[in-house]
A and B are shown apart, each in its own frame.
Chain A
Amino acid sequence: MISLSGVTKRYGETLAVKALDLSIESGEFTVLIGPSGCGKSTTLRMVNRLIEATAGKIEIDGEDIASYRPEELRRRIGYAIQSVGLFPHMTVEKNIAVVPTLLKWDEARIKHRVGELLELLSLDPAIYSEKYPSQLSGGEAQRVGVARALAADPAILLMDEPFGALDPITRESLQREFLRVQRELKKTILFVTHDIDEAMAMASKIAIMRDGSLIQYAAPEEILESPADRFVREFIGADSALKRLALLKVGPLFKRAKSIKEREGLVAAKERIVEGENLWLTDEKGVVKGWISPRSLTGAEDLTEATTSLDPRAAGIAKDDNLRDALSTMVKFGFRTAPVVDKGGILLGELSLSAILEA
């Protein structure tokens, strides 16, 4: 647990952080967010004493951080930054080994730990261990940066816009991957960003700051549903309803669907279909091939003629997709009801537009 009480940072006449109180539970993924100059980075850097607070107290698990030597404190806290800052003269392996080496771990333990971390971040140790930072892409470098922050297995991780310099595709895949890692490791994370979508996607709690003060500190859903004031409302943007959808999963909302196999034929289809609903056409394994509406069935000579075919990989929705992505797929393909499929395209059920609107 990290607790800040009355933490203030003054630069000459200006107050960068004003008497901030913030308490972060263990295992929580807390995102500090706000416009530039709001004091979020300063707050983060006061936790590992890269910046010394002018006033106030910061405690980790009940112990005042001022009672440690700064270096000793920092070795116990993982730290990752936007510009990564890998050491260019060290291999990936040596970079990750920096803190364990400072902590004088023995060689075998370090080597084992480095391999473990590379694998955790989906970097093949055989390929990456001996590479130098100049041989890595931006995404790979940041993975190594995160691995380096995790190296000595710190309970707390401070991350200052770690994915901010990456292109949108790499950023999104790294966000997703880091969430997976976090589910596994359950670190206490303090994460700074100015990107509200990133905050919504990653955070279990969001702390919104402005002019050095904390404006609202709550779970993402709560911030979307009841923003504390006009500033928060404007900051989360006009599409807060869509952002909320992004936090909800398809899983609990989809229903069972009616389907028919190709060989069962037109007559069976007419018997099975219900007015106002669609019938999904599948192959023998249950992979979705298309959909049949009551209207298309009337006057059709066979099942193929009545079917509008679709590709389940493009038009199908997965169970753990979020509702915003599901809605996007439905708008794109003009569905009122979309098929929910597994990885192989096998029909699991259907999700209706009305189910999303009611969510």
Chain B
Amino acid sequence: MGNFVTFHANRIVAGAPFTIFESAGTMVAAALLLLLAAIICASLYSGGGKWRDYALGALPPIATALLIYTAGHAARALSLDATPIARVSLGSGFWIPLLLLPVIYFDSIQNNEGLLAPAAAGVLSTVAVAVFFVYGFMDDLSLMKEFANRSDRFFSELSTHLTLSGVAVSLAVLIGAPLGLLAERRERLSGPTFFTLNVLQTIPSLALFSILIPLIAALLALFPTLKEAGVGAIGSTPALIALTIYSILPVARNTYTGLRTVDSAIIEAARGMGMTPLERLLKVELPIASPIILGGVRIALVQAIGLTAVAALIGAGGMGTFIFLGIGQSADDLILLGALPTVLVALIADGAMQGMIKIVKPKGI
């Protein structure tokens, strides 16, 4: 924890690193280090049975909450004597444990489903962290200062970001699911369909965004009415088209695979009992394939949330706005202000989709 936080006299100049002891004080630092040491010991120790499961399930969320609190505490301590333009940013000593702790936690709860303590610790720690942020414990961190300067903009960009990815994935479901169904029903079409979608998927996002701009511009020249309807060659139109194109493949492929995995005996039985093709699709094939199809939507959604960050480059807005602004100004914390929420939203979307798949999945499968 050599570089827990870095102190900058202002936003531009290089900073001076502080250790966790120097910045947060002996007591808090010692408590956090002891907790981390316990987790490391538990994860390296193969025995211990139930106690080890509890330690690895319940301690990491507590340590994460404490780590975040400690960062806020350190920032406050360093800011006391400084000018308002001074910045305290987070260093590797903060980031490394912040990334490792969730890995240990999620690995542990996946192996020990049903333990109450780890789930409770997770929920409580999340609430605690939320409280830290809402009640200003973290306000002296540079990241939060960037946020405070742009809080209105932050929420409008976040909403743009969510709308863009949400609409793109919805469109992709409307296009991709029928495409997957068609490929499954007409096997001759599956080769060309997935070849095209795979090729589209390999185009770098930046390239696709920039290809679309002149294409749409040409289209607008041909059909001026589109322009009047609010379609622009830059901004949300090309972004939405590109994001939709990327999202189609996972949805179409999983629809195809899901329908393919339905046992041929089940299809034969359904036909033999006199189901029409539509009844067979709705009552038998789609319910059986639904977990796999939703798995494709989940991949598309997480992927779209990440890709939407790039869309800011062509003026579509979203969290990418802060990232590119931060790159332009060499302001690392501004980059983080765009990147961290993007990651967080992607993780939440992933978890929500997993939960939904569990609920929607028909019993018996």
* Interface of A toward B, CB cutoff 8 Å: 48, 50, 70-76, 79, 81, 83-91, 98-99, 102, 132-134, 145, 148, 158
> From DSSP, what is the main secondary structure of chain B's interface residues?
helix
Contact B274 A89 (CB under 8 A): no
A83 to B265, CA, bound (A): 6
A74 touching B364 in the complex, CB below 8 Å, given contacts A85-B265, A88-B266: no
* Interface of B toward A, CB cutoff 8 Å: 263, 265-276, 279, 284, 287-288, 362-365
Interchain CB contact (< 8 A) of B268 among A50, A72, A89:
A50
Beyond the given pairs A79-B272, A89-B365, A98-B275, 13 more chain A to chain B contacts, judged by CB atoms under 8 angstroms and listed by A's residue number, are A70-B274, A71-B275, A72-B274, A75-B274, A76-B274, A81-B265, A81-B272, A85-B266, A86-B266, A87-B288, A88-B365, A134-B365, A145-B269
Complex A-B: 19 CB contacts under 8 Å: A71-B274, A71-B275, A71-B276, A74-B271, A74-B272, A79-B272, A81-B265, A84-B265, A84-B269, A85-B265, A85-B270, A86-B266, A87-B288, A88-B288, A89-B287, A89-B362, A91-B364, A132-B363, A158-B272
A102 touching B274 in the complex, CB below 8 Å, given contacts A88-B365, A89-B364, A132-B364: yes
> From DSSP, what is the main secondary structure of chain A's interface residues?
mixed
Q: How far is the CB of B358 from chain A (nearest CB, A)?
A: 15
Interchain CB contact (< 8 A) of A134 among B271, B284, B364:
B364
A148 touching B273 in the complex, CB below 8 Å, given contacts A83-B265, A88-B288: yes
Give chain A residues whose Cβ lies under 8 Å from the Cβ of B287. Answer: 89
A81 to B284, CA, bound (A): 17
Interface core residue of A79, A145, A148 (most chain B CB under 10 Å)? A79
Q: How far is the CB of B277 from chain A (nearest CB, A)?
A: 9
Give chain A residues whose Cβ lies under 8 Å from the Cβ of B276. Answer: 71
Contact A74 B269 (CB under 8 A): no
Q: How far is the CB of B211 from chain A (nearest CB, A)?
A: 43
A325 to B270, CA, bound (A): 40
A71 to B173, CA, bound (A): 31
Contact A79 B364 (CB under 8 A): no
Give chain A residues whose Cβ lies under 8 Å from the Cβ of B266. Answer: 85-88
The closest CB in chain B to the CB of A101 belongs to B283
A88 to B287, CA, bound (A): 10
Give chain B residues whose Cβ lies under 8 Å from the Cβ of A74. Answer: 271-274
Interchain CB contact (< 8 A) of A102 among B269, B279, B362:
B279
Interface core residue of B266, B272, B284, B365 (most chain A CB under 10 Å)? B272
